[in-house]
């Protein structure tokens, strides 16, 4: 677009130039060779000087500075990379330490728990044993009592009945016949009295 | 006289007539602006490299950006082999750019609007590139005129065309810059003249044109310096990396 406009403007300018030439008939000063040699001479002088100064003094400075900056940036990136790796290593180590200590803590905990459980179990067992012993003792005693109870009752019954008969009818009754009757009765009523 | 749009291109002597034997090498307004441009370039780049800090100042950044701009342009078009010619192309680009830009200031003289100046630059480039080509490839440099993959029947014609196009390089290179500069400046002068002749009532249209043209001409000044440098790179590429 710009190019198109540009060429159109050039074309226009040449049209206008034609008019200008027609009126002035001066021609183009560029084609007047009067100062050509002078222009060439000064061009060589100025451009030559410019080239020499730029090439020998200024451009090496710029390129050296650019190189320095580049290497500096690379160095910085390298050191940053190094630091990053180091910190990653540190994080890994830290993680490992934490992991290890966690495991250790768990171990300690488990050990302690096991120990406590063992202790409790041991004590429980001992207690159970003792309890069982006591219970057995008690059972035996109860059994003994149970077994002895009817005899005692019979004895009491016999004595009571002997006394009763003696006081009621004043007859000395044979102990053995009464005991036989009492035993017979107590056998009959055993269920009733002792419930088993 | 002032209304003549070509008046701005006239070269006149400043100071006394200097003669080297029979040859007139007087200091002229053209010489003055060549000197001013060169000094301006050296001043800018001297200031830009004076401190050379790791974090660049504004003027240093300018110098470094120009450096990388030209170096990228060369490596893109002519490859890494063109590195020894970097200084020359950089100077060339800067010289043409500054001459063009100084020409944009009113009442100045545009050095590059003179065919003899641009032609000398182009001729120097042409001769230099040809010498480099023959030095690198010997007589094999002539293969440049024989493109590969062309039918035998067409070859004589193609070779002639290639030779003509090669020989016309300095002319096209110099005329492109010269014509662009001259046309632009003439046009601005013509529109400026219209502003005066149409007066306060009708002069606004050419004035606005003139303003727009100034912007365009600044663009062209940069563009033509760039084109001049990049064509030099392309010619250099032909001489350094001979392939078709």
User: Could you tell me which chain A residue has the CA closest to the CA of B30?
Assistant: A39
DSSP class of residue B18?
Answer: -
Q: Rounded to an integer, what is the distance from CA B60 to the centroid of its chain? A: 24
Average pLDDT over residues A89-118: 95
Contact check, Cβ <8 Å, B91/A47? yes
Average pLDDT over residues A21-29: 59
- Calpha distance A32→B178 (Å, rounded): 15
Contact check, Cβ <8 Å, A58/B46? yes
What local confidence, expressed as pLDDT, does residue A9 receive? 58
Average pLDDT over residues B5-24: 85
Average pLDDT over residues A83-104: 96
Contact check, Cβ <8 Å, A30/B219? no
Q: A56-70, B117-131, B136-150: lowest mean pLDDT where?
A: B136-150
- Please say whether the beta carbons of B7 and B26 come within 8 A: no
Q: Over 70: is that where the pLDDT of B43 sits?
A: yes
- Please say whether the beta carbons of A42 and B27 come within 8 A: yes
Handedness of CA B67, B69, B71, B72 (dihedral sign): positive
Tokens standing for B202? 């009708």
Mean of per-residue pLDDT scores for chain A:
83
Disruptive mutation site among A13, A56, A60 for chain B (greatest number of B CBs within 10 Å):
A13
DSSP class of residue B24?
Answer: E
Tokens standing for A3? 């190019």
What percentage of chain A exceeds 90 in pLDDT? 53
Q: Over 90: is that where the pLDDT of A150 sits?
A: no
Q: Where are the beta strands (DSSP E) in chain A?
A: none
Residue among B34, B54, B220 minimizing CB distance to A42: B34
What local confidence, expressed as pLDDT, does residue A22 receive? 43
ipTM: 0.91
Q: Over 80: is that where the pLDDT of B3 sits?
A: no
Residues of B in contact with A54 (CB under 8 A): 41-42, 45, 87, 90-91, 94
Smallest Cα–Cα separation from A59: which of B226, B93, B119? B93
Q: Over 60: is that where the pLDDT of A11 sits?
A: no
Q: Over 80: is that where the pLDDT of A191 sits?
A: no
Q: Over 60: is that where the pLDDT of B101 sits?
A: yes
């Amino acid at each position: 677009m710009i190019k198109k406009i540009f060429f159109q403007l050039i074309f226009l300018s040449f049209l206008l130039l034609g008019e200008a030439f027609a009126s002035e008939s001066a021609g183009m000063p560029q084609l007047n060779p009067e100062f050509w040699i002078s222009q060439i001479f000064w061009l060589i002088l100025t451009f030559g000087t410019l080239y020499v100064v730029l090439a020998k003094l200024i451009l090496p400075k710029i390129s050296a500075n650019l190189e320095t900056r580049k290497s500096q940036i690379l160095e910085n990136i390298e050191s940053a990379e190094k630091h990053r790796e180091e910190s990653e290593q540190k994080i890994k180590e830290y993680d490992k330490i934490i992991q290890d200590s966690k495991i250790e803590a768990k171990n300690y905990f488990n050990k302690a728990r096991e120990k406590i459980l063992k202790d409790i179990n041991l004590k429980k067992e001992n207690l159970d044993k003792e309890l069982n012993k006591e219970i057995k003792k008690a059972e035996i005693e109860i059994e003994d009592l149970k077994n002895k109870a009817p005899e005692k009752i019979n004895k009491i019954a016999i004595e009571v009945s002997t006394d009763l008969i003696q006081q009621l009818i004043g007859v000395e009754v044979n102990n053995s016949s009464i005991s036989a009757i009492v035993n017979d009765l107590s056998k009959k009523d055993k269920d009733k009295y002792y419930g088993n | 006289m002032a209304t003549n749009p070509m008046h701005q291109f006239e070269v006149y002597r400043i100071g006394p007539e200097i003669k080297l034997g029979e040859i007139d090498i007087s200091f002229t307004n053209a010489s003055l602006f060549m000197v001013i441009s060169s000094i301006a370039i050296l001043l800018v780049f001297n200031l830009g490299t004076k401190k050379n800090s790791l974090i660049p100042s504004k003027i240093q950044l300018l110098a470094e950006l120009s450096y990388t701009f030209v170096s990228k342009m060369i490596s893109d078009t002519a490859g890494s082999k063109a590195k020894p010619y970097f200084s020359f192309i950089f100077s060339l680009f800067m010289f043409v750019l500054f001459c063009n830009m100084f020409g944009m200031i009113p009442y100045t003289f545009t050095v590059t609007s003179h065919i003899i100046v641009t032609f000398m630059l182009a001729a120097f480039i042409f001769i230099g590139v040809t010498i480099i080509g023959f030095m690198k490839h010997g007589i094999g440099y002539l293969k440049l005129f024989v493109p590969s993959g062309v039918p035998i029947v067409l070859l004589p014609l193609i070779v002639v065309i290639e030779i003509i196009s090669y020989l016309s390089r300095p002319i096209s290179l110099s005329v492109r810059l010269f014509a662009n500069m001259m046309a632009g400046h003439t046009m601005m002068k013509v529109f400026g003249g219209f502003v005066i002749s149409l007066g306060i009532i009708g002069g606004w249209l050419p004035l606005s044109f003139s303003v727009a043209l100034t912007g365009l001409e600044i663009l062209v000044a940069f563009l033509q310096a760039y084109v001049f440098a990049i064509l030099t790179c392309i010619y250099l590429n032909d001489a350094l990396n001979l392939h078709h």
